[in-house]
Amino acid sequence: MAKILVVTSGKGGVGKTTTSAAIGTGLALRGHKTVIVDFDVGLRNLDLIMGCERRVVYDFVNVVNGEANLQQALIKDKRLENLYVLAASQTRDKDALTVEGVEKVLMALKEDFEFVVCDSPAGIEKGAHLAMYFADEAIVVTNPEVSSVRDSDRMLGLLASKSRRAEKGEEPIKEHLLLTRYNPQRVSDGEMLGVEDVKDILAVTLLGVIPESQAVLKASNSGVPVILDDQSDAGQAYSDAVDRLLGKTVEHRFLDVTKKGFFERLFGGR
Ligand SMILES: Nc1ncnc2c1ncn2[C@@H]1O[C@H](COP(=O)(O)OP(=O)(O)O)[C@@H](O)[C@H]1O
Ligand SMILES: [Mg+2]
């Protein structure tokens, strides 16, 4: 049975698109046919992070409007056999997506894919609502800051009350917390909330903790999802998160301040 997974948050700029690209790619790496759908009309970030921006001819809105069919709009990843991207429209207005239009496209994707990963726009407005409305599971991306945690809490409330599952009285959306841009040094200096603080406030199962990492910027600049950089801390943390999403028990890493060894101090490490 195909699963619709939304990557959402209250606040913008927390790492949703980075996460959508990494998780989607990780699922495909493990053999699951996956499509990542960009709901951020007007911004079109996902295709850049996936490195397929030059191949976008038709987008999500074109399919909703019947100007192209799914086969024409789906962009096949050049690295992985079973990974596809449906890009957001860059030029259309934000109202181009409707509940009916989104439903039509998502139900068609469910026929063909095991996982449909929806990259949500920021905020709690229409775009974010459409991205989460049909979800079976949600990854709530949160930074270890009070404002981000508060906005995530609001999003959890919406998932539990405004989704289709909620409206139909079905089993609720399965919620996962993903803490990103985690900096153990700043946590130990008291500048950021720690994992336990965030877990206590949100009371949602922790899918993963992604460290603040130079590797993320490097990866997005080169159009390679960071999970493919298996030498990087962020890539490894995303990899663990994908395993947990698929039901494996994996211990959390990168939570504590690492004392740099002599050679690392000498030559620099990441
Ligand atoms: N783990 C991380 N370490 C460092 N920078 C990160 C990390 N995750 C995301 N970023 C950066 O944060 C910014 C926002 O990320 P993005 O995924 O576009 O967020 P959103 O989709 O929520 O707006 C980008 O510049 C991205 O490179
Ligand atoms: Mg984004």
pLDDT tens-digit series, residues 204-227: 999 999 999 999 999 999 999 999
Closest-approaching ligand to the CA atom of 23: 1
Specify the residue with its C-alpha closest to ligand 1, atom 9. Answer: 15
Token couple for 177: 């917390």
As a whole number of Å, the CA-based R_g of the chain is: 18
Closest-approaching ligand to the CA atom of 270: 1
Provide the 10 A C-beta neighbour count for residue 214: 11
pLDDT tens-digit series, residues 70-126: 999 999 999 999 999 999 988 667 788 899 999 999 999 999 999 999 999 987 788
Q: Which residues surround ligand 2, an ion (CB under 5 A)?
A: 16-17, 45
As beta bridge partners, residue 208 has: 178
Closest-approaching ligand to the CA atom of 214: 1
Say if CB 237 and CB 231 are below 8 A apart: no
Distances (CA, A) of 28 to 82, 90, 219, 228: 6, 26, 18, 11
pLDDT tens-digit series, residues 242-254: 999 999 999 999 9
Q: How far is the CA of 45 from the centre of ligand 2 (A)?
A: 6
Whether ligand 1 lies within 6 angstroms of the CB of 152 is answered as no
Token couple for 42: 């007007």
Distances (CA, A) of 270 to 113, 174, 235, 267: 36, 34, 12, 10
Residue 13 burial by CB count (10 A; 0-12/13-18/19+): exposed, middle or buried? exposed
pTM reported for the whole predicted model: 0.95
In a 13 Å sphere around the CA of 151, the CA atoms on its Cβ side amount to: 21
pLDDT tens-digit series, residues 118-164: 999 987 788 899 999 999 999 999 999 999 999 999 999 999 999 99
Q: How far is the CA of 94 from the centre of ligand 2 (A)?
A: 15
Question: Which run of H or E residues covers position 210?
Answer: strand 206-211
Question: Could you give the CA distance from residue 68 to residue 245 in angstroms, rounded to a whole number?
Answer: 33
Question: Could you give the CA distance from residue 75 to residue 37 in angstroms, rounded to a whole number?
Answer: 10
Mean pLDDT of the chain: 93
Whether ligand 1 lies within 6 angstroms of the CB of 213 is answered as yes
Whether ligand 1 lies within 6 angstroms of the CB of 43 is answered as no
Residue 165 burial by CB count (10 A; 0-12/13-18/19+): exposed, middle or buried? middle
Whether ligand 1 lies within 6 angstroms of the CB of 15 is answered as yes
Q: How far is the CA of 34 from the centre of ligand 1 (A)?
A: 22
Question: Which run of H or E residues covers position 195?
Answer: helix 195-202
Whether ligand 1 lies within 6 angstroms of the CB of 181 is answered as yes
Q: How far is the CA of 62 from the centre of ligand 1 (A)?
A: 27
